Structure 1
Amino acid sequence: MPHPVIALVLLSMTTSTLGAAPAPELSVRYERPDSPRAEQARKLLKDSGALKTRIRLPKPVKVVARDCDEADARWDGGKRRITICYSLVDKVRRTMTGIAETEEADARTTKARTEGALAVLFHHQLGHALSAMNGLGDSHAQADQFAALTLAADAPAHVVPAPEARHLLAGHAGIDHLSGPDESATFACLLYGSDPARHARIAQGGWVPAERAPACAGEYDRVKSTIGSMAVARP
């Protein structure tokens, strides 16, 4: 008969094996850029922390930041890989800088908006990954729903800058997954609805239509009750 302490250890190991195992973390790789502009984009993306997450995943996922032929961000279900292109990061940076010059926004505001936009890009792709790996299909609308949930749970510092950035970029074509005023309003509504008191600035900024704002908490609750269990952050 095994020693009581050994038996306790074996029981603990068995329980851990049979119970819910910790979700695997994302692996993130920044490939070597081929130009000074791409290097600037790599540094911006890495320093922003936008690719960090504590969201539980059903399977391992790789995140690769790299040079691409097009300004793009994409999820590859076959390889379980999220790709963020330096050219897209550079396009977001240049567009945000142009908006800041027009508005005469300060450097701190521009930095927060740019990092918020990068967080949306990543969390939208993370949404595609969660949707696909949980067998829910693969639509941009559902990826946006996951992105709102994961941002609210995982990146509180980006919750207000993210919808602001998306609102500013909604009319700019060619900025992957950030264009579109209707999509921007829905995304802002979900983030505002996650905590209307704490995120009041989203409504005050006009990033969600005033007539829609009172219903946003209900919209958020409906989305959370449907897919919230698949978008949980580790403590």
Structure 2
Amino acid sequence: MKLRLIIFLSVALGLVSGAFLYSLLSVKRHEKALAAARAEGRADAEKAMADELAALKPVVLKKVANAESKPDGTHFTYEYVKPHDPGLEPFYRLAHDGDLLHHLPEIQAIDGLLMLPKPIRFVMAECREPNAFYSPERGEVVMCYETMKVLLDRGRQLATDQDVADKGDAYAQRYLEANLRFILLHETGHALIDLLEMPITGREEDAVDQLATTLMQRFAGMNESSRQVSDNLRMASNWFLVRSTGQYNLDAYADEHALGEQRYFNLQCLIYGSNPARYVGIVTEGDLPEARAKTCPAEARRVSKSWLRLLLPHVAPKYEMTEEKANRLFEQRERERNRNAEVPYVR
């Protein structure tokens, strides 16, 4: 009896195990079949989509220009010509190795700002005499290495003769840079008058002195305070007195340039007139007579406004603005410069 029971239970257990195994194998076969069906269906769907896409004509998307983008102005070109005179080699190295022209803030501020009929080419070269000039035929503003040498020597002499804060080459280097900036902007003024056919009713030399002053006041480096800007301009005005003797012949009076003393006082007037309260020392120290100083605020405003109105029509579309907006930007720039110059830091 017990034996039959054991046999029965063994058979039943075998049947159950077989049924379970069959069920498990069936599930796996079903899953494989389902996966195969899905894969086949996906392949069919992908093939159908590919066939439809192949039947379509290719679509080329054209690059749409940004409606708000506007063209830049005419950019300047720059060249440093190696001198033949070994004595001028240090000035070539100073200009070339330091890429001097690309580090003059006023030149860089107007590079690409205006629409010109052709680029202005700035050249630093040997000229066999101290000089700086604009060549209309070549469209070049030329600064001579000989001028750099004379300016550096003059700066060293002033540092020795006068009681200046920066002694020796530190002051001389500042004097050199300040005058390079003014002289190059002066010659750039000649280039702009020529290329843009600007209407100038007075003496052109006086007009470009005014432009150079305006550009140095408006586009000085962002790390230069208003006081530093005025110091640079006063260094530039000192250069006007270098060849002045106080004794002139008819040729001097007939020259296209005003006398050095006149150019000096004209520049003092523009500096003082830009902010009489800040630069009252120019008058009290005797660098500008009181009689002339009275008219300087109006003169400085008139000069700045006149040059702004002459240049605005030629500003590139990318930068075009109203006179009011330009003045707001200049005021904001001056505030930022003064703030940057006064920010304390740990050395």
TM over 0.5: yes
**Number of corresponding residues:** 224
Cα separation, partners in 2 of 1:121 and 1:179, compared to 1, 3 Å: farther
SS at match of 1:225: helix
Identity of aligned residues (%): 21
In the alignment, the residues of structure 1 paired with residue 282 and residue 91 of structure 2 have an alpha-carbon distance, to the nearest angstrom, of 27
1:161 aligns with 231
Asked if structure 2 preserves the Cα contact closer than 8 Å seen for 1:130 and 1:230, the reply is no
Cα shift at 1:178: 10
Give the gaps of 5 or more residues in structure 2.
Answer: 1-58, 245-256, 320-328, 330-347
Cα separation, partners in 2 of 1:70 and 1:216, compared to 1, 3 Å: same
Report the AA paired with residue 84 of structure 2. D
SS at match of 2:133: strand
1:194 aligns with 274
2:82 aligns with 32
SS at match of 1:28: strand
Cα separation, partners in 2 of 1:53 and 1:199, compared to 1, 3 Å: farther
- When the two structures are superposed, what TM-score results if normalisation uses the length of structure 2? 0.55
Cα shift at 1:63: 0.1
Indicate the RMSD between aligned Cα atoms, in angstroms. 3.3
In the alignment, the residues of structure 2 paired with residue 145 and residue 135 of structure 1 have an alpha-carbon distance, to the nearest angstrom, of 17
Report the AA paired with residue 232 of structure 2. A
**Runs of at least 4 residues of structure 1 off by over 6 A?**
232-235
- Which of 1 and 2 has higher RCO (CA within 8 Å, sep 6+)? 1
* Match among 256, 260, 283 for residue 180 of structure 1: 260
Give the gaps of 5 or more residues in structure 1.
Answer: none
Asked if structure 1 preserves the Cα contact closer than 8 Å seen for 2:77 and 2:121, the reply is yes
Cα separation, partners in 2 of 1:118 and 1:45, compared to 1, 3 Å: farther
Report the AA paired with residue 152 of structure 1. Q
- Tell which structure's C-alpha radius of gyration is larger: 2
Cα shift at 1:140: 0.8
1:171 counterpart = 2:241: yes
SS at match of 1:64: strand
1:53 aligns with 108
Superposed, which structure 2 residues align to 1:64-213 within 5 Å? 64-105=123-164, 106-107=167-168, 108-136=170-198, 139-155=204-220, 157=224, 159-173=229-243, 180-197=260-277, 202-203=282-283, 206-213=286-293
Cα shift at 1:143: 1.1
SS at match of 1:33: coil
